Amino acid sequence: MISGNVWEQYSKKVQDRMNNPKAMGEFNQNDADKIGARLIVADFGAESCGDAVRLFWLVDEKTDTIIDSKFKSFGCGTAIASSDAMAELCIGKKVDDAIKITNTEVEQYLRDDENTPAVPPQKMHCSVMAYDVILEAAAQYKGVDRESLQNIDIVCECARKTKQDIITAIRDYDLTTVEQIGEKTKAGTYCKSCVRPGGHEPRDIYLVDILEETRKLIDQESLEKSANTTQTGENSFDKMTIVQRIKAVDAVIDEFIRPMLVMDGGDMEIIDIKENIPHYDIYIRYLGACGSCASGSTGTLYAIESTLKQKVDENIRVLPI
């Protein structure tokens, strides 16, 4: 039995279409012949929940316009309401425009007000199914494979957001959390299966993975830009304060040097940076295993100095103490 509190999570439009769908029904070839249209019948089933929907289109082939649209749904009330809205949204559209009807558009069409979701997050997959059956119908009409009509790089099925959509948002808005990604793109705000492993539907890649990968690239690009800027004279090393110099050197060490040392059980720290024109002498102290390693004054030292010369300033000398 469904409690009153649960029903409150569904908009009145959804509840009405559950009980009184407007576009439920079917067309046959006689219906198509009467108006000189082409009949399209497409099926799609969701393996995760067992729901299925059949979509009927009558299409004017001269203009590629969907004259009328009906559906049959074999599933829950939410699937019926979503399919009903989807079929209604198709009417009067060209096939290419119908493909652009996303599941988020279906869900928003069913809202009572623009700020309140029409269905609970775990039911968003029902509108995903509505989008999928449109792709099936369009592919059949065009005589192509469905894969040619969709971006298979979808990460969030609910919001129909691709990996590139997510990466672009992270870069454009300098996003640092999954919550911020949701605010900007709606990805991960419905069923949440795409946020991280453990949701009701497994994914090949999750928002947390894309965020981590993209932030690493942004940090690396920023570091390289900073190093290049230093070498070209803008905010050059010789014009920095001692604190700025230490930060610049530390940033390069953290990115390119410290990981190598830590892998061998060692580390290092900057003790001081002194001007000895034309050189900048950087005094360091080895830590851990590096403190007793013979290469600290040969190969390791050369690698550290070469990296700092390349990334920060060509006049740097590194002196262990």
* pLDDT (tens digit per residue) in 169-220: 998 889 999 999 999 998 888 888 899 998 777 888 899 999 999 998 888 8
* 137 or 225, which is more confident: 137
pLDDT of residue 237: 85
Distance CA 289, CA 23 (A): 73
Confidence of residue 1 (pLDDT cuts 50, 70, 90): very low
What is each CA distance from 297 to 103, 275, 290, in whole angstroms? Answer: 63, 21, 10
Q: Is residue 140 pLDDT above 70, yes or no?
A: yes
121 against 161, higher pLDDT: 161
Question: What is the distance between the alpha carbons of residues 276 and 202, in angstroms, rounded to a whole number?
Answer: 59
pLDDT computed for residue 229 by the predictor: 54
Report the top-level CATH class of 4-150: alpha beta
More confident residue, 35 or 75: 35
User: Is the pLDDT reported for residue 137 higher than 90?
Assistant: yes
Contact call for residues 249 and 312 (beta carbons, < 8 A): yes
Residue 122: predicted pLDDT: 67
CA 165/CA 145 separation, integer angstroms: 24
Express each pLDDT in 12-41 by its tens digit: 999 999 999 999 999 999 999 999 999 999
Average pLDDT over residues 93-101: 90
Q: What is the mean pLDDT of residues 2-21?
A: 81
Cα gap 40→138, rounded to integer Å: 9
Confidence of residue 117 (pLDDT cuts 50, 70, 90): confident
pLDDT value, residue 11: 92
76 a catalytic residue: no
Top-confidence residue, 154 or 234: 154
- Of the listed ranges 17-21, 125-129, 175-179, 276-280, the one predicted with least confidence: 125-129
Kindly name the residue from 90, 126, 158, 191 that is annotated as catalytic: 126
Average of per-residue pLDDT values in the chain: 86
For the domain made up of 236-320, the CATH class stated in words is alpha beta
Q: Is 86's pLDDT higher than 60? A: yes
pLDDT band at 89 (very low <50, low <70, confident <90, very high): very high
Shortest CA distance to 190 belongs to which of 133, 127, 129, 132?
127
pLDDT at 158: 77
Q: Where are the domains of the chain?
A: 4-150, 152-234, 236-320
Report the alpha-carbon distance of residue 44 to residue 129 in Å, rounded. Answer: 7
Burial of 59 (0-12, 13-18, 19+ CB in 10 A): buried
Which pLDDT belongs to residue 70? 97
pLDDT for residue 249: 93
Residue 49 a catalytic site member: yes
- Does residue 3 register a pLDDT over 50? no
pLDDT of residue 152: 56
Task: Indicate if the pLDDT at residue 231 is higher than 70.
Answer: no
Q: What is the pLDDT of residue 203?
A: 80
